Amino acid sequence: MSKIAFVFPGQGAQYVGMGKDFYEKHPIAAEVFDKANESLGIDIKQMCFEGPEDELVKTENTQPAILTTSIAILKVVEELGIKADVTAGLSLGEYTSLVYSGAMSFEDAVKLVKKRGKYMQEAVPVGKGTMAAIVGLEREQVQEIINDASSEGIVEGANYNCPGQIVLSGEVKAIEKACEIAKEKGAKRALILPVSAPFHCKMLVPAGVKLSEELDNISMSPLSVNVISNVTAKYIENEGDIKEFLTKQVSKSVLWEDTIVLMLEDGVDTFIEIGPGKALTGFTKKTAKKLGKKVKTYNVQDLSSLNKLVDEIK
């Protein structure tokens, strides 16, 4: 029996024009964008469809924009009768998973991630922290780099995306040092990323504290679909744990490769990435290949990719 996972993208996947074709063709998607505008009191729909890009890339706009687009597309996928056995999302994408599972309402989630973006942006003065992608080294080698570079300041593993791709986060000097060491160790690439803050490291703890206060005002419902947490790479057993996981998630590593491994071990063989971009599809393929598992992967971000999914799954 085939098992399906829905996976949802995080920050960085956004682009101007995302979701527009769904809005125009599917009333159920249009409803989501309209609901987001109403909940936020800003025209997030216009920002998704027309930009300007410099507004869309501001963290406090990017996060609700991606969440809204992903949920709008998800509603269309659901309307076609396609369901998931398990779900997970990368960082911000975890909120989309929690909405899909019924743990959180869309209206609560979209307001929450706007604040989450704002708190994450404000936690560290601009220019003090950054992130870097290390490509082509094993996890153990990257851990050695972290240990060596930490003499220059804070440096931590932020995103364990897939075999051979890990993102580091921390103070600028320490991250620059880590990139130097990575190149010496034979990394294919060690690139400083164009991000506005050092996400998923302990410099973001103050953002987690503020987020936790917001989470106290939100009621969580029991999960109707299995959701895997970024922080533990395990299933969330109880809706009572969600607030703690989301608070920690801001300043802890995103264990994405481990999340996909858990799904593969539990018999998931079809992965559907829903929302803008297709980075997660690439990560899934690399992780499955390393384990010698055969998988089907789809990404649904526009009407043509939706049609491809429908042709093959129905």
Per-residue burial over 248-285, b if 16 or more Cβ lie within 10 Å, else e, is bbbbbbbbbbbbbbbbbeeebbbbbbbbbbbbbbbbbe
Sign of the dihedral through C-alpha 107, 108, 113, 116: positive
Helix axes 59-79, 106-122, angle to 10 degrees: 150
* Catalytic-role residue among 26, 196, 200, 251: 200
91 catalytic per annotation: yes
Contact 225, 253 (CB under 8 A): no
* Catalytic-role residue among 26, 39, 70, 91: 91
219 catalytic per annotation: no
Q: What is the DSSP letter of 13?
A: -
Contact 67, 35 (CB under 8 A): no
Sign of the dihedral through C-alpha 46, 50, 52, 57: positive
Contact 236, 229 (CB under 8 A): yes
CB contact set of 168 (below 8 Å; sequence gap of 6+): 131, 132, 133, 134, 142, 145, 146, 155, 156, 157, 158, 175, 178
**Cα 99 to Cα 75, 107, 110, 279, 287, distances in angstroms:** 11, 9, 10, 21, 26
- Residues labelled as active-site residues: 91, 200
